[in-house]
Amino acid sequence: MFLFGWHSWKGESGKRYRFKVTLTKKGLPKNEQGGIYMFVRRRFVFFLEPVYVGKAANVRSRLLGHEKWSRAFWYYGVTERHLYGPVVEEMDRRRIEEDLIHGLKPRMNDVEIPDPRKKKHRHIGDATPRERPVPA
């Protein structure tokens, strides 16, 4: 790992994705290309903490006007944007984003993406029809 340049992040599946570290607008892609991006907090030079993972059909325009950037910068101390791409297909972007969110569990990804492999848990008050008491 270098201080700046490239960094590898591992998803829940165990697959590693190599991201380009960008600090300024000059590091963003010049043309309209889709991909995955992350907001990252660097602590004590070498410790990196992913704070937000997202996907976009046009990474440059998405990052230049992102609604969560100011909160990530001021509240969570994010100083870097990591980019993975180009990823052309929307389904591929969605799959990679879900893999990274489930693996890294970033703080600002507050919408839980449902995992089809996990069973739904019943609440205590829920009952199946045969468990319901018969009125007397």
pLDDT tens digits, 62-109? 888 888 888 998 999 998 999 998 898 999 999 999 999 999 999 898
Residue whose C-alpha is closest to residue 85's, from 51, 48, 56, 42 = 56
pTM: 0.74
Indicate the residue type of 84.
Y
* pLDDT on residue 32: 82
What does the pLDDT look like over 13-66, one tens digit per residue? 989 999 888 877 777 877 888 999 999 998 887 788 999 999 999 888 888 888
State how far the Cα of 89 lies from the Cα of 22, in Å rounded to an integer: 23
**CATH for 6-107 (3.40.630.10, 3.90.1260.10, 3.40.1440.10, 1.20.1270.360):** 3.40.1440.10
CB 53 within 8 A of CB 68: no
**Residue among 29, 12, 2, 32 nearest 84 (CA):** 29
